[in-house]
Amino acid sequence: MVSNIVKLAGVFFENEGCMKTTVFISYAWTSDEHRAWVRLLASHLRLIGYTVLIDSSVEYGSSLNGFMREVAGAGRVLMIIDENYVDRADNRPGSGVDYENHWIRGVIHQKPETWRSVLFVDNEGYKVPVWLADKRPKSFDFNSRPKLGQFPGSEQLDDLWRWIEGLPADKAHALSPDVLFERLARIERIGVMRDPANYASAGLQGRVTFQHDAHTAYSVGHGEYKFSIMFSNLNVDSVAVYIDAGLKAVGLLPDAGFDPRTVASFLSSDRTAMPAVGQKVVLMNEVGSLCVITIEVVQQAISSPTFIPAAVTFAYKVLVEC
């Protein structure tokens, strides 16, 4: 079976038959603000598809040792090191950071150098725990320098993503994050445009502008009074109305006044009705209910200088009394 592929922020993940990378995050509970910052980073990583292991997902106590053992199975270990983290690792035996460092040290010799990395935050001296100093881990500078107007942002996140994915630091062949997200926005806009919810109005009367080349049909009403209407442009001031989307019959109504109680007599066996602007069409659905639409505006597709899609504006009224 061919797996479905989902593209998100330049990363391809298989929905079936492929494990997502697991990232273990080690950090110190330095302050509420620091914890919130780490949680936000973890959310960013989850957003682009990674499984993130972080102490906030478990209770401290009896379950902690079991959680720490998960570090051995993680695809990547990210140590978020501020100065308090260094102090806890070096001088606070029994602390959460000490436990995490114990487990990381216990398996580091079994892992490639790319397995672990350091993220510096609130750590201008780039300090690391003593045991890690000679390991020269891959590092990312997330320090903020407000007086210099320097703050971590998309460039640092891009570097972090490249490490997780095992991509080279050289970005000669890389797409920038802004280009990637611009492309994602284009894809999402098309998805929104194709959402069937955009092409339905549950009211029993109203006025609608429908870009009919974007979707098969527009539905008005609901339940036994639902009508799915399919259009195409004929010329600058007329359209074709089809039964193909689920109607039983259509018919062109006369320009002169007519009795709503007799509109059914104008239904025909034809597949289409071809009203011009200002004309009315009677519709009958599969259960025999009736609706009258009035064509108000016909917009032809225009390609230059900007694209304007073909559309029809129509008013409708479901005849619940008939």
Average pLDDT (316-321) is 94
pLDDT at residue 280, as a whole number: 96
pLDDT (tens digit per residue) in 162-209: 899 888 877 777 777 678 778 878 888 877 767 777 899 999 999 999
Instruction: Enter the CATH code of domain 5-187.
Output: 3.40.50.11530
The residue ranges of every structural domain in the chain are 5-187, 197-318
φ/ψ (deg, to 5) at 249: -165, 160
302 and 270 Cβ atoms separated by less than 8 Å: no
pLDDT at residue 72, as a whole number: 79
Q: Given CA atoms 58, 61, 65, 71 in this order, what sign does their dihedral have? A: positive
pLDDT (tens digit per residue) in 93-143: 988 899 889 889 888 888 998 899 999 999 999 999 999 998 888 899 999
Distances (CA, A) of 305 to 79, 213, 300, 301, 302: 53, 19, 14, 12, 8
pLDDT at residue 14, as a whole number: 36
Distances (CA, A) of 34 to 41, 72, 148, 219: 11, 25, 21, 51
For the cut 70, the answer to whether the pLDDT of residue 18 exceeds it is no
Give the residue with greater pLDDT, 184 vs 54.
Answer: 54
Mean pLDDT of the chain: 86
pLDDT at residue 15, as a whole number: 36
pLDDT at residue 245, as a whole number: 95
Query: pTM higher than 0.85 for the full model?
Result: no
pLDDT at residue 65, as a whole number: 63
Both tokens of 38, joined, read 């780490």
